[in-house]
């Protein structure tokens, strides 16, 4: 093919748009949205380490019952657990604080109860630990009891 007929190569920006800086607080907000929707965005996955540890802790249990999930598949299982087993309907991150490689986000979630018809509002806090551009661990603490364990693939502590 003659060189004058070749189309110019497209740059990354022309194909997928200009890269933009994503603040860690934006990622925390996306994480919080994921626990209420049960869906993990592609953007959140790009910031999650393959070896990351994801934990959810019930702040109402006498011994702070904790369930652990590992890696990207664990992130999906954590979101599914929050949506399907804990019955988290919606949530809002109301603030966050960054200290070194840690980001603490907090807010309110609405949880559907088998007993109460309207949703109940309770609080949560999440601690995201970063190494460079990747989340290496996350601990979500909610003030809500866990349902009995049945077939969940998490590790209980």
Provide the CATH number for the domain around residue 123: 3.10.450.50
Taking only the tens place, the pLDDT of each residue in 79-129 is 999 998 888 999 999 999 999 999 999 999 999 876 667 888 999 999 999
pTM listed for this prediction: 0.77
* pLDDT above 70: residue 155: no
Q: Token pair of 55, please? A: 């934990």
For the chain, the C-alpha Rg in angstroms (whole number) is 19
Q: Number of folded domains in the chain?
A: 1
Taking only the tens place, the pLDDT of each residue in 37-82 is 999 999 999 999 999 999 999 888 666 688 999 999 999 999 999 9
Residue 107 located in a structural domain:
yes
Domain that holds residue 49: 23-144
Sheet order of strands, 120-131 included: 88-99, 102-111, 120-131, 134-142, 48-58, 66-70, 155-156
Residue 142 has a pLDDT of 92
Residue 30 has a pLDDT of 93
Residue 155 located in a structural domain:
no
Residue 149 located in a structural domain:
no
Residue 59 located in a structural domain:
yes
Residue 156 located in a structural domain:
no
The average confidence (pLDDT) of the chain is 82
Residue 153 located in a structural domain:
no
Residue 75 has a pLDDT of 95
Residue 116 has a pLDDT of 62
Residue 63 has a pLDDT of 66
């Amino acid at each position: 093919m003659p060189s004058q007929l070749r189309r110019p190569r497209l740059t990354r920006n022309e194909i997928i748009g200009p890269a933009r800086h994503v603040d860690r607080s934006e990622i925390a907000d996306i994480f919080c949205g994921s626990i209420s929707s049960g869906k993990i965005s592609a953007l959140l996955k790009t910031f999650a380490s393959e070896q990351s540890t994801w934990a959810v802790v019930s702040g109402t249990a006498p011994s702070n019952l904790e369930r652990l999930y590992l890696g990207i598949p664990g992130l999906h299982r954590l979101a599914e657990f929050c949506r399907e087993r804990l019955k988290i309907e919606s949530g809002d991150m109301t603030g966050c604080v960054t200290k070194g490689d840690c980001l603490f986000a907090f807010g309110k979630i609405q949880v559907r109860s088998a007993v109460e018809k309207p949703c109940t509002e309770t609080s949560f806090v999440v601690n995201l630990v970063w190494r460079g551009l990747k989340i290496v661990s996350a601990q979500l603490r909610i003030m809500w009891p866990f349902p009995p364990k049945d077939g969940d693939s998490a590790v209980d502590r």
